[in-house]
Chain A
C-alpha cells in the first residue's frame, strides 16, 4: 500500500512494522477479548515524526489509533484493520524537573511510576496512581483521565496536569495550558480517549511526599454498616488518602492469596488510610479509630509501622488476581454510584449473579463511589463471554438508575459504547460528535471509539427517554 510505503520511507528502519506477525503484540490493549491487526504500527521517536506520520495518514485518509503502553481496560487502543497504530513508547524521556516549581515535563511514553521515582530525591511525587502504574504511560493517563486509589484526596489526572502539547491530523501543534483564557481546552482533552489529538508532551504537578501514612482496617458484619462508617468519617471532615471497601467474597479470596490477617468472618472490610505530617496523621488515625468503633466495627487493626501498612494493603492490591484464581477468566466493571446506594446496588448485583449463574466479587473505592465488580467466567465455555458482557451491561444500567455513571476511570473505548446510549440522549451525543469534528474534521483519529453513533444507539434499541420523548425518533427501528 502507498501509505505504508510512504511511512517506511519517512521513518528510520525498524520504526514502521508492517509485517502481520510482528503486529501481533499491538492487536489488543488491556481488554483482550477484542483483537484486530492493524495495517501497520508506527513508532515515532520524536514530535516531528509524530507530525510526519499524521500528515501522511491524513493525505491517504488512513485512521490513526494512538497507543501508549496498551494497558487500557476499555479497548480504547484497539486497532482498526484499515488503520495504523501510532505507538508512543519510544517517546519516554523526562524532559525537565523543576523541584522549586514542583513540576515535571514529560514525553507521553513515560511510565506513570517513573515520574514518582525520578522526583523522589526532591521529596516530591506524582499523585495519580492507577493500578497499572508500573506499566501505563502518562500520555495514556491524560487520554483516559486515569484515576487510582487516592483520587478522593488528590484528584484524577485532570487535577494534576498543568499543560499539554497535542498534534492534530494536519501535524499542527497545539499547546493547552491551565493558564489559558476562555473555554478550558486542557480539561476537554483529559479523558478524550485519543479522539481529539495526539498528546506529545505533558507537564504535571508534583506534590510533597507525605511524612507518613497510617492504615486503619475495620471489619463489619454488613455492607450497610461499613458504608455508613465511611459516611461518618467524611461527615467528621476527614478526607482519607485511601478509602477502600471489599465484600465478603473479595475478603476471602484476598486473604487466601495474601494471608495478611483479613477478618474472614466479616461481611465487609474497610481500609482507611490517612497521610500527611506526623502530627496530623496521629490525630486523624485516632479520630478514625473512634468513629469506626462507634459505627459498629467488629474488628479494628491499626498499622503500627510502614511494613505493617504495606502488608495490610497487599490483600486489597492483589484482590483481582486473588479473585481470578477462582475462575479461568474475570471481567472487571467500572461503574460509579452514590455511596448511600451501595447496599442496594450490591443486593441487585447478587440477584443478577444468580440470574446469569456467574459469580461476582466487589471491590469499591468508597470515597469516590467507584465500584469494580469482578465477574468470573470461562471464555472457553461457548456463550459465556457474551453472557458476562450482558451481565456487565446490566450492572452499568443499575449504576445509572441510582444516579451514577457507566465508567469512573477506565473510559468507554469500544467496551461501553452501548452503555453510552443509556447515559446520554441524542442531543448530547450529537454535541460530542460535533466537538470531535472541530478538532478532527477528517474523523481519522481513533474513529468509532468513546462516543456511539446515533444509528448504533437506535439499533441497540435502548429506550432512554429524555424530556418524555422517545430517543432517535428520526431513525428507523428494526
Chain B
C-alpha cells in the first residue's frame, strides 16, 4: 500500500533517474559516512510501528524507526528482537537490516535475516514492491526479503519490515579466567549441551557466557553483570595510529588467530588488529563497516545482475 512517504521516495528516485544523479539511503547516519555532496533519501521521518500482534510473534515496523524505540515497544509486551542488533547511537532498524548486523546471540538464535518475514520497498525504477508477509512460514516466490538483508541500500529503499520477535528473557552472565585457546574449545563444548546459552565470548583474559531460564552453574564461574555484551556489541575499541581492525567470521572452534583482541559469538566472530586480512571472510572495520569485495567472478556477476534487476539505472549508490 502506497503512503505519502513511499510516493515521495518514488518521485525522488524518478527525478534522479531523469537527471542522471545517484542517491544514497540514509537513516541515522550512525554507520555509513555520508559524503557532503551526496543526495540523500532520508528515512528518519519514516518511523513508527505499523502493526504489532504480540501473540502472533510478529511486528511490522517502518524502516526509519530507531532500535531503542522498537525495543521499548516490544519490551512492553515482554518481547524482544532475537538478533540483538548493535546500536551505534540512534541506529535505525532499516540501517541494521541494510548492514545485516547481528549481535552476540547469533550462534544460539540466528542471524538478522532469519527473523525477517516480509518487506515493502521502492526499487530503482521508483516502483513499490512487496515481498514475503507476516507469516513465520511462507515459501511463495523467491525470498527477496531475506536476500536483501546486507544489501546496504544499493538495490532498493526498504520502507517497511515485518520481523519475527521472541519472548524477552532474563539473562545472567558468568566469567572465568583462562587462555583464549581453552576458552574457544570450552565455549563450543558448552554450545553442544542443553544449557540455555545466549552468548559466549572471550575478552581481556576472561571467558564469558550468558544464560537464561533454568540452569545449573558451570565450572565454578563467577557471576557478573551483563555489560560485557554491550562492550562487544557494537565493538568499538580504541586503536593506535595506523592500526587496522578486522572483523573475521569463521568456524566457532577455529584456533586462535594472532593479535585477536576479542572473540565473540562462540568463536564465530574474531576481532583482529592486523595490516592484512588475517583469514578468509575478513572485513576491514573502518567507520563501523566496509564492504569486503572479495567475491569470486561468478558471484560478482550474480550480485551485479541482481543489482540491475532492482536498480537498472544505477540510481542507488554502491557501498
Q: Which residues of A contact B (CB under 8 A)?
A: 98-103, 122-124, 144-145, 147, 151-152, 155-156, 158-159, 168, 172-185, 187-188, 190-192, 208-211, 231-232, 234-235, 237-239, 276-277, 279-280, 283, 336-340, 365, 367-370, 403-412, 416, 420, 423-424, 427-428, 431-432, 434-435, 437-439, 450-451, 467
Q: For B111, list chain A residues within 8 Å (CB).
A: 178
Q: List 5 A-B contacts (CB under 8 A).
A: A102-B191, A124-B192, A183-B151, A408-B137, A428-B141
Asked whether any CB of chain A lies closer than 8 Å to the CB of B253, the reply is yes
User: What separation, in Å, do the CA atoms of A68 and B252 have in the docked complex?
Assistant: 31
User: Which residue of B has the minimal Cβ distance to A396?
Assistant: B140
Q: Is the CB of A336 within 8 A of B135?
A: yes
Q: Is the CB of B137 within 8 A of A368?
A: yes
**B214: which of A100, A177, A283, A450 is its contact (CB, 8 Å)?**
A283
Total number of residue pairs linking A and B with CB closer than 8 Å: 227
Cβ-based interface call for B196 (8 A): yes
A145-B143, A420-B140 are contacts. A183–B135 as well, Cβ < 8 Å? Answer: no
A408–B138 touching, CB < 8 Å? yes
In the bound complex, how far is the Cα of B138 from the Cα of A144, in angstroms?
11
Does B53 belong to the interface (CB within 8 Å)?
Answer: yes
Q: Within 8 Å of chain A (Cβ to Cβ): is B11?
A: no
CB of B54 closer than 8 Å to a CB of A: yes
Is B57 on the interface with A (CB-CB < 8 A)?
Answer: yes
CB of B152 closer than 8 Å to a CB of A:
yes
Residue numbers in A under 8 Å from B217 (CB-CB): none
**Interface SS majority for chain B:** loop
Beyond A158-B146, A182-B152, A428-B129, whether A276 also contacts B283 by CB under 8 A is: no
The 9 closest A-B pairs by CB, nearest first: A237-B167, A438-B305, A187-B146, A408-B137, A181-B292, A279-B214, A179-B249, A368-B136, A188-B147
Residues on B with C-beta less than 8 A from A185 are 147, 299, 302-303
Closest to B114 in A: A159
User: Could you tell me which residues of chain B, from 126 to 178, have a CB within 8 Å of some CB in chain A?
Assistant: 127-131, 133-144, 146-152, 155, 166-169
* Interfacial chain B residues near A438, Cβ < 8 Å: 302, 305-306, 308-309
With known contacts A159-B110, A235-B54, A277-B214, A336–B251 Cβ distance under 8 A: no
The 8 Å CB contact of A102, one of B188, B196, B295, is B188
Give Cα A430 to B278, complex, Å. Answer: 42
Complex Cα–Cα for A432 and B113 (A) = 19
Residues of B within 8 A of A237 (CB): 78-79, 167-169
B56 touches A182 (CB 8 A): no
A42 to chain B, nearest CB (A): 23
Q: Is the CB of A423 within 8 A of B302?
A: no
- Residues on A with beta carbons closer than 8 Å to the beta carbon of B192: 99-100, 102, 122-124, 208
| Pairwise interchain contact A101-B188, C-beta atoms closer than 8 A | yes
Beta-carbon contact of A208 and B193 below 8 Å: yes
CB contacts (< 8 Å) of B130 on chain A: these are: 428
Tell me the complex Cα distance, A412–B79, Å: 33
* Chain A nearest Cβ from B18, distance in angstroms: 20
Q: Which B residues touch A406, using CB under 8 A?
A: 140
Q: How far is the CA of A340 from the CA of B294 in the complex (A)?
A: 47
Specify the chain A residue showing the minimal Cβ separation from B100. Answer: A184
Query: Which residues of chain B are within 8 angstroms of A451 by Cβ–Cβ distance?
Result: 141-142
Enumerate chain B residues within 8 angstroms of A427, measured Cβ to Cβ. 127-129
Name the B residues within 8 Å of A191 (CB-CB): 139, 142-143
CB distance from A271 to the nearest CB of B (A): 18
Whole-angstrom distance between the Cβ of A387 and the nearest chain B Cβ: 24
Given contacts A151-B136, A428-B131, A438-B305, 6 further A-B contacts (CB under 8 A): A174-B302, A181-B292, A181-B294, A237-B169, A367-B136, A432-B141
B139:A411 contact, CB within 8 angstroms: yes
| With A183-B150, A467-B2: A423-B141 Cβ-Cβ less than 8 Å | yes
Contact in complex: B306, A340 (CB < 8 Å)? no
What's the minimum C-beta distance from B31 to chain A, rounded to whole angstroms? 14
B194 beta carbon closer than 8 Å to chain A: yes
* Assembled-state Cα–Cα distance A364/B130 (Å): 26
B214 and A431 contact, CB distance less than 8 A: no
Whole-angstrom CA separation of A409 from B140 in the bound complex: 9
Q: Which residues of A contact B88 (CB under 8 A)?
A: none
